[in-house]
Amino acid sequence: MTIRTATMKDLNAITKVEAECFPSAEAATADEFKDRLEHYANHFWLMFDNDKLIAFVDGFCTDEHDLTDEMYANAAMHDENGKWQMIFGVNTMRKLILFGDSNTYGYDPRDFLGGRYAEDERWATIVHKTLADSFDVVEEGMNGRQLPSVDYGYFTNLLCELSEDDIFVMMLGTNDILLTYNPNIDMAVTKLDKILSYARENCLAQFILIAPPYIKVMEPEMQRYHDCCIEMNERFIKFAKQYDISVIDASKWAIPMGSDGVHFSIDGHKKFAKNVLENLESF
């Protein structure tokens, strides 16, 4: 993250973030921001994630104690030596967190060293780039990730730091089935039950659960994992509905798999991204 003051070159980015944060009738216009930047660009503080503006604060200095409507409209009221720093707004892009395992990470099953598909071949990055003007998208995929415990601070902190305008998408469960010789569906469902209960009580954002595509039967011994995926998804969907949490059944999307039957192929990633975007639009 980088924080700095503004220049006139930041006008378009500032205006875009403002438009995402406020209804059109309330958002400041590009002309209004141009006027503000001409008078007090050094009193804008911009936060960037790489080259993308994700938040900013602005306001001028004055000897007046109280913030008035006129101050928003008249940038010439700025007094560089004023005793008070006014804050006109704290504008933050809505967050979209994509939390998942190696398929969210973009693991390439053709690479035994844990490599990734290219950026334009990973579903999470395709979604990220498509929605970059509307959301601060965070790709939280990790190889081998299982359903986390609600005692896991990193996971619960992610949930609790979100606002009601944010979205948290979670697709997990495959590794809870796959990384054991005798899959225990009850254990996976119990963990999900605790996650959904915690999210229901503590997460202000919209929580969207994606029941993952089934493991594909590439060899006879994979049949039990495939069958467990079917039962797991059925129970995941049932629990989500009980908690009134949005749920998507990705097993219906017929996602093409790679050679291992677990990880998406390149075409699978592209198809998965298309379906996720369509579902997010409907939500």
Q: Return the residue matching tokens 């998406």.
A: 264
pLDDT surpassing 80 at residue 111: no
Torsion sign (Cα): 14, 15, 17, 23: positive
pLDDT surpassing 90 at residue 4: yes
Mean pLDDT across 112-124: 90
Residue count (the chain)? 283
* Alpha carbons 136 and 140: distance in angstroms, whole number: 13
Backbone angles phi, psi at 43, to 5 degrees: -115, 20
* Alpha carbons 184 and 147: distance in angstroms, whole number: 13
pLDDT tens digit sequence for 205-242: 999 999 999 999 988 888 999 999 999 999 999 999 99
Architecture, CATH, for domain 2-92: 3-Layer(aba) Sandwich (3.40)
Q: What is the pLDDT of residue 133?
A: 87
Return the bridge partners of 206, or none.
167
pLDDT tens digit sequence for 235-272: 999 999 999 999 999 999 999 999 999 999 999 999 99
Give pTM, 2 decimals: 0.86
The per-residue b/e assignment along 213-245, b for 16 or more CB within 10 angstroms, e otherwise, is: bbbbeeeeebeebebbbeebbebbbebbeebeb
Q: What is the pLDDT of residue 110?
A: 87
Query: Using an 8 Å Cβ cutoff, are 206 and 246 in contact?
Result: yes
Higher pLDDT, 141 or 110: 141
Q: What is the pLDDT of residue 188?
A: 95
Burial of 9 (0-12, 13-18, 19+ CB in 10 A): exposed
Q: What is the H or E stretch that residue 230 is in?
A: helix 223-242
Mean pLDDT of the chain: 94
Backbone angles phi, psi at 12, to 5 degrees: -65, -40
* Alpha carbons 242 and 140: distance in angstroms, whole number: 26
* Alpha carbons 121 and 140: distance in angstroms, whole number: 16
> For the chain, which residues make up each domain, given as ranges?
2-92, 94-282
Q: What is the pLDDT of residue 113?
A: 75
* Alpha carbons 124 and 170: distance in angstroms, whole number: 12
pLDDT tens digit sequence for 56-75: 999 999 999 999 999 999 99
pLDDT surpassing 80 at residue 112: no
pLDDT surpassing 90 at residue 50: no
Residue 72's nearest CA partner among 80, 81, 82, 62 is 62
Q: What is the pLDDT of residue 244?
A: 95
Query: Using an 8 Å Cβ cutoff, are 60 and 77 in contact?
Result: yes
Q: Return the residue matching tokens 């990705």.
A: 250
Evaluate whether the domain defined by 94-282 bears CATH number 3.40.50.1110: yes
pLDDT surpassing 90 at residue 182: no
Mean pLDDT across 143-164: 93
What share of the chain has pLDDT > 70, as a percent? 100
